[in-house]
Each structure stands twice: as C-alpha cells, then as structure tokens.
Amino acid sequence: MRYLPLAFDVKNRPSLIVGGGSIATRKARLLQKAGARILVVSPDITEELLRIVVDSDGKWHRVTYSVEHLDLADLVIAATSSSEVNGCVSRDAQRRRLPVNAVDAPELCTFTFPAIVERGDLSIGISSGGAAPVLARRIRAQLEALLSPGLASLVDFASRMRSQVKQALPEARRKNFWEWVFAGPVARRVEAGQLADAEREFLGALQDWQGSPSPIGEVYLVGGGPGDPDLLTFRALRLMQQADVVLYDRLVSPEVMDLVRRDAERIYVGKKKAFHAVPQDDINQLLVDLAMQGKKVLRLKGGDPFIFGRGGEEIDKLADASIPFQVVPGITAAAGCASYAGIPLTHRDHAQSVRFITGHLKEGSLDLPWKELASGSQTLVFYMGLTGLQTICTELVQHGLPTATPAALIEKGTTKAQRVIIGDLNTLPTLAKEKAVRAPTLTIIGGVVGLHKKLSWYQSSER
C-alpha cells in the first residue's frame, strides 16, 4: 500500500488550486462538496470554476503562480496544463510540508483523489495510488450499483439517534444494537422514506434492548434466480451479505451460494422427488425459531419465491408469529431459462399469452385443465414436469394440440451446464430418455419454440 487512506476535514479551510481549466474545475467540484474555501491562481478561469470560487467564499487570483501563493493554503492542487509548473508547485508545497496533489503525476503527489462513492456523509474512496485510475473508477461503478441510494438518509437518521442510544445502553451493547438497526426493519423503513415509522420502531426496539438481551431477528425471503449469479438483484446481494444463517434449497446454484456471507451458518433444506431434506412445516417453524433467537435469517430459493416456491406458506407462518420479514423477488425459471435458450415467451405471431404450470400438484397428481391448456396462441411452461412429460404431451394432443407443436426441454438453464433439447409433442418424451435429461429441467411448449434456432445466443441446442 503506497498511500494511506485518510479523510481530510477541509470545511472552511483554504484550498489552493493552481490552474483554471477543466481539470481544475473537476477538482474544485469535489472540494466544494466537502465545504472547502477555494482559492484559484490562474490567468484564466472557466465560468463554472469562477462560480464555485464565489460560492465557497474563496478568491480568484488572476496572475501566474508564485511561491508566495502557498502562504494562503492548507492544501494544494497543481492542475495546470504545464508539467513544469505542476512540478514547481509540488516541490514548493513539499518544502513547506503542505499536502499536494499534481494531476496525472503520481510521483509529484503526497496525496491522491480516490474514486468516491458518496451517500450523504457516508463516503468510500477507492485508490490505486494513481497507478490505475480507470480501474478504480470501474470498482466505484460496481459499488454504486451495490449500495442503496437510501444510505444517505440512514446516516442522517443514525446521527440524530446516536445520543439516545448512548444514554440508553452500556457501551458493550451499543455495537450489537446498531448492527441490528442497520441490518433490520428500521433501516429498511428509513431507506423507503418512512421516517416516522422507522423512529417509532427504533425507539420501541431501544426500550426492548434495555430490558431484554435477545431482541427478535428478521427473515429475508430472497429469490436466487435460475442459476446465473449475474441475474441476482442488488437487494438480494446486500441481504446475502448480512445474514447470520442461510436456509437454501436444491435449486440454488453453487455460484449463487458463493456470494453468501462467508461466515454465515448454512442449512440445506432442499427437496427433490420422493425426498425432502426437511419437511415444509419444519422449514416454516425453523425460520420462526431462528428469528426468535435474534438472528438475521436468509431463506434463499431458486427462481422466484412466489412462483412455485412455497414462499407464501413460509411468510404466512412468519406473519402469525409477528416476525419481521421482507421479500426480494428473483428471476423465475421460465423467464431466465427461456431468455437464455432464445425462446421468447410471447410473440405477436405465435403467442399472445403465457401460462406457468406446475408438473405435479400438492396431491401429487396431474389433474390439469387440459382443454384450456390445449388452446392455441399461448405458450405453456411446465415447472417440475420431467417425470410427467409423457402424460403432459399425450393429454395436450388428446385435447387438440397438433403432435407437431414445437416443444423444448431446458436443463440447468442459465448455467454453464445448460442443455436445450428441441422436439415436438410427439418426439419430446423419447428425446428426454435418449438424452438422459435430469432435473432441474423446464418444459416449454408452443409456437415460440420454433424461434429458438434463429434467436439462440447463449449455447447451441441438442436435437
């Protein structure tokens, strides 16, 4: 590490910029945000920079640089188009032990400007020591996407409530309380702009913490998508990093699990045909029990938790127990797998509607409205339908769909192991056996499947 990351308090302090062009203007914008009083030495100046100087109660010295100008400064920036002038400013400043930055010349700097992620008073600086500023900016863009825009409000809220926490709790318990605040329902309400509700919940929790060592936790019901971790939402990623314990199912890909907080406890509760690692009722109760222990519980599901994911059953139990929870949707398998297979679920020439259907009902039967499903101009997507594939194809043909209706099997969709097998209602069951297709596999039936050959972009198909 060449540069030690520090945070300078420059509010109302004289900061000298030598140079008046576009580079100097960019530096002045940052100093203005921090409340510095900006002084500029340059024969010429941009209109924007002049406004910044005036607004900061600073001064423009309309002359060329001389060493005496350093008498005015607590901090110096050399931002001229002349490397000779910038070098002179740097040497003069260092002789006076003034912090100096020379633009695009790391060897002349005693400090550098990091790429900054800003959320109000919360700021994060990413520095490469001037060696790779473009890389630092790329990392900043990634952090911008991950960090909630509501963090600025959360910082303000915490600042306002800080004294009350200090009065109410001993020092040993304050850290844990703030951890709970920032990871729980209070923070969520603040970020959503529900400040009055957030304050009521905050004060109620603070009172509970004064008398109870085990405050209630929270459950995050998160959709992990069909497998590709790039399809996760930003909120899903944030909550995956906050959880103390994770309950995950069979359809959550290893790549998605790699993004879960490293030290979180992991509990497998997956299901497959004729085998449930943990019965659903026990999963529901486990979520309640863990939250009652004060833990942040991540219930991570493949796809979307509200589409054949039993998410409704789980949060119904949480609501009965008055456990705080939040739901984060995920890209359901139908949308993700179809997109990666180049099969649009709707198309003006082929399908004006789409239906998502489970391949086995709660009672384990395939008692479906076959006549409705066999009507034209729609796309049928069967989840968990591999075992009943022959029955599905036979019933659809018997109720009116042509045997030549295009149909596809998408195995492990959106992952590197994805396979797309194309056939029709007559050939698909045989192809599934010949290709030894295994779950998880999605079945898509309808005219849109015929577009796969032209629109496929992710992988080639098997036929």
Cα 403 to the center of its chain, rounded Å: 44
Known binding residue 5? Answer is: no
Q: Is 303 annotated as a binding residue?
A: yes
272 is catalytic: no
Grouping H, G, I as helix, E, B as strand and the rest as coil, residue 125 is: strand
> Do 40 and 62 touch, CB atoms closer than 8 A?
no
SS3 label, residue 35:
coil
DSSP secondary structure letters along 139-189: HHHHHHHHS-TTHHHHHHHHHHHHHHHHHHS-HHHHHHHHHHHHHSHHHHH
413 appears as a binding residue in the annotation: yes
Radius of gyration of the chain from its Cα atoms, rounded to whole angstroms: 30
* Catalytic residue list contains 59: no
22 is in an annotated binding site: yes
333 is known to lie in a ligand binding site: yes
Contact 282, 203 (CB under 8 A): no
Residue 324 contacts residue 218 (beta carbons within 8 Å): yes
Check the annotation: does 282 bind a ligand. Answer: no
Kindly give, in sequence order, each residue whose CB lies less than 8 Å from that of residue 215, ignoring residues fewer than 6 positions away. 180, 205, 208, 209, 294
Residue owning tokens 């005036």: 54
Beta-carbon count within 10 A of 17 CB: 33
Q: Is 211 annotated as a binding-site member?
A: no
Lookup: tokens for 405 = 């209706």
The per-residue DSSP string of 234-277 comes to HHHHHHHTT-SEEEE-TTS-HHHHTTS-TTSEEEE--EETTEES
Return the closest-CA partner of residue 350 out of 392, 428, 422, 406.
406
Would you say 92 is a known binding-site residue?
no
Instruction: Give the active site residue among 27, 92, 228, 249.
Output: 249
376 is an annotated ligand-binding site residue:
no
Catalytic residue among 59, 156, 244, 271: 271
Detail the residues annotated as belonging to a binding site. Answer: 22-23, 43-44, 226, 302-304, 307, 332-333, 384, 413
Q: Return binding residues for NAD(+).
A: 22-23, 43-44
Q: Please give the positions annotated as active site.
A: 249, 271
Residue list, annotated binding site for S-adenosyl-L-methionine = 226, 302-304, 307, 332-333, 384, 413
